[in-house]
Chains A and B, each alone.
Chain A
Amino acid sequence: MKTGLFAMTTTPKRQRELHLGLMFWAGGTHPAGWRMSSSKADAAFDIEFLQYVTQLAEKAKFDFLFLGDRLATDPQLQTTNPAQMSRLEPFVSGASLAAATSHIGIVVTANPTYYDPFTVARMFASLDHLSKGRASWNIVTGADAIAAANFSRDTHWDTERRYDWADEFVDVVKGLWDTFEDDAFVRDPVNGTYVDPAKIHKLNHKGQSFAVEGPLNVARPVQGHPVILHAGTSERSRQLGARDADVIFAGQGTIEAAKAYYADMKARAVAYGRDELDFSILPGLTPIVAPTTEEAVAIYDRLNGFLVLDKEDNDGEEVRFGGLGRNALRNLTRVAAILGIDVRGNDHDASVPVQVAEQASPEGLALIAEATRRTRRTVGGPSPLLLKDLIYTTILSGAVAIGNPTEVADFIELWFREKAADGFNIFPPYVPESVEAFVDLVVPELQRRGFYRLDYSGSTFRDHLGLTRPENRFVAKDAAASSKVA
Chain B
Amino acid sequence: MAHQGQNHTTSDDERRQLHLGYMYWANGTHPAGWRYPGAAHEGAFEPDHIVRLARTAEAAKFDFFFFGDRLATGLNYELTNTSVLARFEPFTAASYLATKTSEIGIVVTANPTYFEPFNLARLVASLDHATHGRASWNIVTGADGRAAQNYSRSEHGDPDYRYDRADEFIAIVRRLWDSWEDDAFIRNKDTGSFVDGEKIHPLNHVGKTFSVKGPLNVARTPQGYPVILHAGTSERSRNFGAREADVIFAASATLEDGVAYANDIRSRARERGRPDGQIKILPGITPLVGKTLEAARQIYDQLNALIILDDDVRFGGREPSYWSLDAKVAEIRGEAVGAGHRNLGALSQRVGISLSHVDIDDLVDLERASAFNHAGSRLLAETDRRTGRGIGQVSWRDLLHTYIVGGHVVVGSAQDIADYFESWFKAGACDGFNVQSAYVYEQLDLFVELVVPELQKRNLFRTEYEGATLRDRFGLKRPLNQFAA
A-to-B contact residues, CB < 8 Å: 32, 34-35, 37, 39, 41-42, 44-45, 47, 51, 70-73, 75-76, 78-79, 82, 85-89, 91-96, 98-100, 114-116, 118-119, 122-123, 125-127, 129-130, 132, 146, 149-152, 180, 185, 187, 189-190, 192, 194-195, 197, 200, 209-219, 306, 308, 485-486
Contact = CB atoms under 8 A, between A and B. Distances in A.
Interface string B77-114: 01000101111110111111111100000000000001
B75 A88 contact: no
Nearest to A214: B150
A132 B32 CA distance: 28
A119 B44 CA distance: 18
B217 A85 contact: yes
B387 to A, nearest CB: 22
Given A42-B185, A73-B215, A98 B75 contact: no
Given A42-B187, A73-B217, A195-B78, A89 B122 contact: yes
Interface centre among B85, B89, B96, B150 (most CB of A within 10 A): B150
Contacts of B125: 89
B170 interface: no
A75 B189 contact: no
A82 B200 CA distance: 14
A215 B35 CA distance: 24
B189 A78 contact: no
Contact of A99 (B47, B127, B152, B213): B47
Contacts of A44: 219
Nearest to B39: A189
B115 A119 contact: yes
Contacts of B92: 91-92, 94-95, 98, 123, 126-127, 130
A149 B214 CA distance: 8
A114 B219 contact: no
A86 B218 contact: yes
A192 B126 contact: no
A32 B191 CA distance: 11
B37 to A, nearest CB: 8
B119 interface: yes
Contact of B96 (A51, A98, A197): A98
Contacts of B306: 192
Contacts of A34: 187, 189, 194
A118 B32 contact: no
A213 B149 contact: yes
B423 interface: no
21 contacts: A34-B194, A37-B189, A41-B189, A75-B197, A78-B193, A79-B192, A86-B195, A86-B218, A96-B98, A116-B114, A119-B114, A123-B91, A126-B89, A189-B35, A190-B35, A194-B85, A217-B70, A217-B72, A217-B73, A217-B87, A218-B88
A268 B93 CA distance: 38
Interface string B133-146: 00000000000001
A92 B95 contact: yes
Contacts of A72: 213, 217
| Pairs of residues from A and B, 6 with the lowest C-beta to C-beta distance, nearest first | A99-B99, A126-B89, A95-B95, A149-B213, A75-B197, A89-B126
Given A150-B214, A189-B39, A195-B75, A126 B93 contact: yes
A212 B72 contact: no
B74 interface: yes
Interface stretch (B204-212, B239-247, B260-268, B472-480): B204-212
A471 B37 CA distance: 36
A155 to B, nearest CB: 12
Interface in B126-172: 126-127, 129-130, 146, 149-152
B145 to A, nearest CB: 12
Contact of B93 (A95, A119, A486): A95
A194 B34 contact: yes
B180 interface: yes
A78 B194 contact: yes
Nearest to A43: B187
Contacts of A126: 88-89, 92-93
A212 B72 CA distance: 11
Interface centre among B96, B218, B306 (most CB of A within 10 A): B96
B85 A93 contact: no
Contact of A218 (B86, B149, B185): B86
Contact of A150 (B85, B96, B118): B118
Given A34-B189, A189-B37, A197-B75, 5 more contacts: A95-B94, A100-B99, A123-B92, A129-B47, A215-B73
A189 B195 contact: no
Contacts of A45: 129, 218-219
B312 interface: no
B51 to A, nearest CB: 8
A387 to B, nearest CB: 21
A228 B177 CA distance: 31
Contacts of A129: 45, 47, 88
B211 A149 contact: yes
Contact of A152 (B86, B100, B211): B211
B217 A87 contact: yes
Contacts of A82: 194-195
Nearest to A129: B45
A185 to B, nearest CB: 8
A4 B73 CA distance: 27
A116 B217 contact: no
Nearest to A209: B152
Contacts of B127: 92
Contacts of A308: 192
B221 to A, nearest CB: 9
Contacts of B86: 180, 185, 216-219
Contacts of A75: 195, 197, 200
B174 interface: no
A466 B88 CA distance: 27
A98 B48 CA distance: 12
Interface centre among A92, A115, A189 (most CB of B within 10 A): A92
A330 B481 CA distance: 36
B239 to A, nearest CB: 25
Contacts of A94: 92, 95
A71 B118 CA distance: 8
A136 to B, nearest CB: 14
A199 to B, nearest CB: 11
A73 B69 CA distance: 30
A200 B45 contact: no
B97 to A, nearest CB: 8
Contacts of B93: 95, 126, 130
Interface string B48-74: 000000000000000000000011111
Nearest to B129: A45
A96 B195 CA distance: 27
Contacts of B44: 185, 219
Contacts of A216: 73, 86
A150 B173 CA distance: 11
Contact of A87 (B82, B97, B187, B218): B218
B14 interface: no
Contacts of A200: 75
Contacts of B78: 194-195
Nearest to A135: B92
B305 to A, nearest CB: 11
